Structure 1
Amino acid sequence: MIYNKQILTGLEHDQYEHSFDREALRRLEKIPFLTTACEWVTSNFIERIYNVQYTGSNLKVTKENYPKIYQYLENACRILDIKKIPELYITWEYEINACTIGAEHPIIIINSGLIDLCDDDEIMFIISHECGHIKSNHMLYHMMAQCINLVVDSIPGGSLLAGGIQFALYYWSRMSEFTADRAGLLGCQNPDAMIRAFIKMAGLPIKEFNNIKPDTFIQQARDFKMLDYDGMNKVVKFFSIADETHPWTVMRSAELIKWIDSGEYNRFISKHYLP
């Protein structure tokens, strides 16, 4: 699974960070006391609850019990130069997906469907994406974005007081996915596998897995990107996704294709690091 892949020794997340992520984070950090509040809420409530929920209900994967599955995580951390390997759990869901919880002690959770329905490099793309969140120190605000509805609902008048913060967190969360997607591609180092993973996540039926049409999906992503030139479509997109923590799948693939087309991905792999 790590054959013919560059080991990106010395990799820093700001080297591949998406500009949307960087700008959204700057705006978020300007909100008074937000970081302090997030640290307190996350460490005292959210992280503890999630930790108990996932570690108490799902299967912990180690190199001793399921070494091949664990190797995906080990390889992703090695390629992306992540020194401390996070814990890995599997949950019984057949959606092709994964998530990361915890700011102080991150834990990666992958769905069973990811392992069953994806090939090695597709799995590496998704697990490396999750590792990218950890490497970029996304998890503090990510945890708050995932749970702000609970926090807001527990405070009288919370929706009025925290509405702007809520949308700022959601917006940054969506933008941070573009950086994590780049980490996913740097981890799998296989653009074709990245496209296949997105096609499967976008809804391809299992019966069509042997009939994947990457070119048509790439064209769909390019066409979607072209819609940005229409101001009304920008408004429609904003209100359609404003309360989501993740961008649309086609939007994410469009941004990665743009990164590849610019030559930045290839220059990043070939110029800056040695295997």
Structure 2
Amino acid sequence: MATSLTQISSVSWEHPADRAALRALRALPGFDDVVRKIAGAFGERGIRNLFLGDAVLVGPTQRPALYALYQEVLHTLDWPRAGQSAPQLYVAQTPIANAGAVGFDQPFIVISSGTLELLDRDEQRFVLAQQLGHIMTGRTTYRTIALIVLFFGMSALPLLASIALLPFQLALLEWYRTSELSADRAGMLGTQDPRGSLMTFLKLAGGKPQDDAIDLDAYLAQASDYQMGGSAWDSVLKALNTALREHPFHTVRAGALHHWQQSGAYAAIVGGAYIKRGSEAERPFRDDLRDATDYYRDMAKEATDAVGGVITRAADAFRDAFKAAASMSDAAAPPPEPPPSGEPPTPESPAGP
């Protein structure tokens, strides 16, 4: 049985890059206005209808084993009980393994049937704790708006036409991705099974072992190689590959969570050394930026400094390629026939025998 983390504040598991990215997002001109307009356009009922579809509400008689597991997670993370009912949990029929916490005033959790089929009980516990962690941070409004943008696209939201769309979208998705790193920490705290938590990412990335075997340690080595290996150009490609994704790659999440566990922070919290609700202190933005530096350095390393050089080298490579292609074309072309004696032929006086 996992230890109940009585009165734990979400600040205890928030990733510094999450806080830094959210502050940067909030600093965008017009951001608060966009949030109000999107929330007002869809409303609480609208967002439920949008995301629920044919989903089934979990309860004591509806998927009772999953309901009991959810109650354990609520107990472990000490869901606030003062006049607050627990977020509703739904199961949606889809083979894609996924889960989400969405909503404005009354957020709820949706987990796919594909997730339940893929993961064992402890791994399902991790996913439920992740989503509860999202809700306990109090930022599901922003997450819901990010999902709306992903579902409908920026062009389908004319109310955003007055702001710089791409910077807004990139900043929103960057925060959305980093918020997953916070939720992963909540997931590990909710399961208190580090290897089971990390195994979740291995299965989400590669599926069940079926009649074969899967190796968590090999997967963690792969995650480390992805994060730390490669050239500056590789770092640029990684940034481009993730810029418009709603989630970080599973290897990145596994590596970041494993690093957090190895740092001793996870054990300290389980041992009782955590921030309690009501005792949170506002951190200066510079502290969040400083703490986030290690994360972004590991993720992008020297990419920012190298972008200019990469673009220059790419332009040179294209120019050289075109020169080479032109030279090859000239070399392959047949030599021109010598003109007949006398004046060169003209269209009015074609060459003849």
Q: Same fold per TM (> 0.5)?
A: yes
Instruction: Return the alpha-carbon distance in structure 2 between the equivalents of residues 16 and 212 of structure 1.
Output: 29
**Structure 2: stretches of 5+ with no match in the other structure:** 275-353
Q: Tell me whether 1:45 sits opposite 2:42 in the alignment.
A: yes
Q: How does 1:10-29 map to 2 (within 5 A)?
A: 10-29=7-26
Instruction: Return the alpha-carbon distance in structure 1 between the equivalents of residues 263 and 195 of structure 2.
Output: 17
Instruction: Return the alpha-carbon distance in structure 1 between the equivalents of residues 41 and 61 of structure 2.
Output: 32
Structure 1 residue 92: Cα displacement = 1.2
Over the residues paired in the alignment, what is the CA RMSD in angstroms?
2.2
Instruction: Return the alpha-carbon distance in structure 2 between the equivalents of residues 118 and 45 of structure 1.
Output: 33
Instruction: Return the alpha-carbon distance in structure 2 between the equivalents of residues 165 and 57 of structure 1.
Output: 32
Instruction: Return the alpha-carbon distance in structure 1 between the equivalents of residues 33 and 74 of structure 2.
Output: 29
Structure 1 residue 160: Cα displacement = 7.4
Q: Tell me whether 1:126 sits opposite 2:127 in the alignment.
A: yes
Q: How does 1:260-271 map to 2 (within 5 A)?
A: 260-271=261-272
Q: Deviations over 1:44-100 (max 9, x none)?
A: 316433311444511111123222111222221221122231111111122332112
- The amino acid across from 2:116 in the alignment is I
Instruction: Report if aligned partners of 1:74, 1:85 keep a CA contact under 8 Å in 2.
Output: no
- The amino acid across from 1:250 in the alignment is T
**Structure 1: stretches of 5+ with no match in the other structure:** none
Give the equivalent residue in structure 2 for 1:216.
218
Specify which of 183, 191, 202 is matched with residue 186 of structure 2. Answer: 183
Instruction: Return the alpha-carbon distance in structure 2 between the equivalents of residues 152 and 97 of structure 1.
Output: 23
Instruction: Return the alpha-carbon distance in structure 1 between the equivalents of residues 153 and 228 of structure 2.
Output: 38
TM-score (norm 2): 0.71
Give the equivalent residue in structure 2 for 1:257.
258
Specify which of 163, 168, 172 is matched with residue 169 of structure 1. Answer: 172
Decide whether aligned partners of structure 1 residues 77 and 98 sit closer, same or farther in structure 2, where only a CA change above 3 A counts: same
Instruction: Return the alpha-carbon distance in structure 2 between the equivalents of residues 42 and 227 of structure 1.
Output: 41
Structure 1 residue 255: Cα displacement = 0.2
Q: Which has the larger radius of gyration?
A: 2
Q: Tell me whether 1:64 sits opposite 2:61 in the alignment.
A: yes
Give the equivalent residue in structure 1 for 2:198.
195
Instruction: Report if aligned partners of 2:37, 2:159 keep a CA contact under 8 Å in 1.
Output: no
Percent sequence identity over matched residues? 30
Instruction: Return the alpha-carbon distance in structure 2 between the equivalents of residues 88 and 117 of structure 1.
Output: 18
Instruction: Return the alpha-carbon distance in structure 2 between the equivalents of residues 104 and 157 of structure 1.
Output: 22
Instruction: Return the alpha-carbon distance in structure 2 between the equivalents of residues 198 and 205 of structure 1.
Output: 11
Number of aligned residues: 268
Structure 1 residue 133: Cα displacement = 0.7
- The amino acid across from 1:28 in the alignment is L
Partner secondary structure for residue 108 of structure 1: strand
- The amino acid across from 1:181 in the alignment is D
Decide whether aligned partners of structure 1 residues 47 and 148 sit closer, same or farther in structure 2, where only a CA change above 3 A counts: farther
Partner secondary structure for residue 164 of structure 2: helix
Decide whether aligned partners of structure 1 residues 157 and 112 sit closer, same or farther in structure 2, where only a CA change above 3 A counts: closer
Structure 1 residue 168: Cα displacement = 0.4
Give the equivalent residue in structure 1 for 2:140.
139
